[in-house]
Amino acid sequence: MEAIKHIIVDSATDVYASRTPGCFTIADLGCSSGTNAFSLVSKIVGSIHEKARQSEMPTPEILVFLNDLPTNDFNSVFLNFPEFTRKLKGGIELQEGSGPSQYASHLVSDTCIHKLRVKCCPMILKVPLGLVDSNGEPINKGKIYISNTSHPAVPLAYLRQFQKDFRLFLKSRSAELRTGGRIVVLILGRRTDDHSDKNATVLWELLDQSLAIMISQVSATLVFYSFKCSSATCRDKRVHSFGALQMSNSHILNHFYYVLLFASQEMVDEEKVDTYNVPFYAPSTKEIEDEVGREGSFEIDFIQAYEQNTSTGDPHKDARITSMAIRAIQESMITHHFGEGIADTLFQIYSGLLSEFLVKQELKCPLLIAVLRKPHQT
């Protein structure tokens, strides 16, 4: 992650050095929450200040825009702002503004930004069209994202939605960015051409399994089986099938507690699971390059895939952190689709499955970084 931070900071400093404006504008479209909202901004501000000092130029006024969803409590950001400005040295004058918005919509005034960072956006605005057949039946049954068993039309639908929404994103950012300005896009992606690449889909596959466990008829079968299964007999590695779900004996007992939470009531309807798909897409570097070329507003200065490893060394802690992150992204959509009351149990199960996965292997989600420059008009 340090290498990525250097790329972001260096790109901002390069823009400043090439223009030396009296007022330098930064927009951060990442998650503006608490002290983390200022983490990268502080590094950019410090680097620009040092560049101005070395060049014997007046220290510029720096304007920072922070953006997040309407549900974010910006009070935590504002409370930390005085402490942040107090730590700045050298008489830097910095103004801060924030506002809720969608990443593809128009955020600020035209041509006012020098440097813009976009962090971990899903890069599609909605669930793709084309995930049902001519009879209106879902073609991605039992899955909420692309998998190796998905109908070929599923990854194609996601790709087309990405192409449409990413072009809209580039067009909107181009209107806001000054000539010579930079965008740094930082998103979860994939290293291969395979849309069902395990590293890009594993988090959604585990959420698939969590929902499958919550389907009422599967839950009842699991409870019945768990009562019959003793600790001794459950040490073997036999795998049992329950509909589309496969679980080992030990896996069943590990989640016996969660099953008991909802076995007596119908928490999730199987038809609703079949019609639920996540509005997420993990592009490859080539797909990013293709859309930047087609849209035409930007040139690519740098693009690369990094292997992200955020492990703390404690798989259970890592599972809780990852589960909370996915819940923050998905909870409002899940409750809208399935109804209120399932989120707590669902993400308890999800955290348990993640723990089991992380005990056995590392979670390696590729992170794509692209530095895009708005060229001078010819």
pLDDT at 375: 92
What order do you get walking across the sheet with 93-100 strand by strand?
Answer: 93-100, 61-68, 23-28, 113-119, 177-188, 365-373, 299-308
What digits encode the pLDDT tens for the residues 147-198?
A: 999 999 999 999 999 999 999 999 988 988 888 889 999 899 999 999 999 9
* Ranges 142-146, 208-212, 261-265: which has the least confidence: 261-265
Q: Determine the Cα–Cα distance for residues 46 and 43; give it in Å rounded to an integer.
A: 5
Place of tokens 């503006």: 32
CA atoms within 13 A on the CB side of 201: 19
State the amino acid at position 182 in one-letter form: R
Q: Which residues pair with 94 in a beta bridge?
A: 62
Span 27-66, pLDDT tens digits = 877 665 655 667 778 888 888 888 888 888 888 888 888 7
CA–centroid distance for 87 within its chain: 30
pLDDT, mean over the chain: 79
pLDDT digits 0-9 by tens, 59-106: 888 888 877 666 666 666 767 667 666 666 555 555 555 555 555 555
Residues 6+ apart with CB under 8 A from 342: 214, 267, 268, 334, 335
Q: CB neighbours of 313 closer than 8 A, spacing ≥ 6?
A: none
Q: At residue 240, does pLDDT exceed 60?
A: no
Separation of alpha carbons 105 and 101, rounded Å: 7
Give the mean pLDDT of 319-334.
Answer: 91
> pLDDT value at position 20?
75
**For the residues 231-240, what does the mean pLDDT come to?**
45
pLDDT at 104: 52
Q: Are 207 and 343 in contact (CB under 8 A)?
A: no
More confident residue, 372 or 34: 372
Quick check: helix, strand or coil at residue 231? coil
Residue 234: the pLDDT is 46
Percent above pLDDT 70 for the chain:
69
Confidence grade of residue 125 (pLDDT, cut at 50, 70, 90): confident
The pLDDT tens digits of the residues spanning 293-321 come to 999 999 999 999 988 777 888 999 999 99
Query: What is the predicted pLDDT for the residue at 237?
Result: 45
The more confident residue out of 209 and 72 is 209
- Indicate if the pLDDT at residue 231 is higher than 50: no
Q: What is the DSSP string of 339-364?
A: -TT-HHHHHHHHHHHHHHHHHHS---
Q: Which helix (H) or strand (E) holds 157?
A: helix 153-176
User: What letter represents residue 366's amino acid?
Assistant: P
Whole-number Cα distances in Å, 1 to 6, 29, 164, 359, 369: 9, 18, 29, 23, 11
Q: What is the mean pLDDT of residues 280-298?
A: 96
Backbone φ and ψ for 248, nearest 5 degrees, come out as -80, 165
pLDDT at 254 over 60: no
Residue 159 vs residues 77, 127, 276, 282, 291: alpha-carbon distances, Å = 35, 11, 18, 9, 11
Question: Helix, strand, or coil here: 185?
Answer: strand
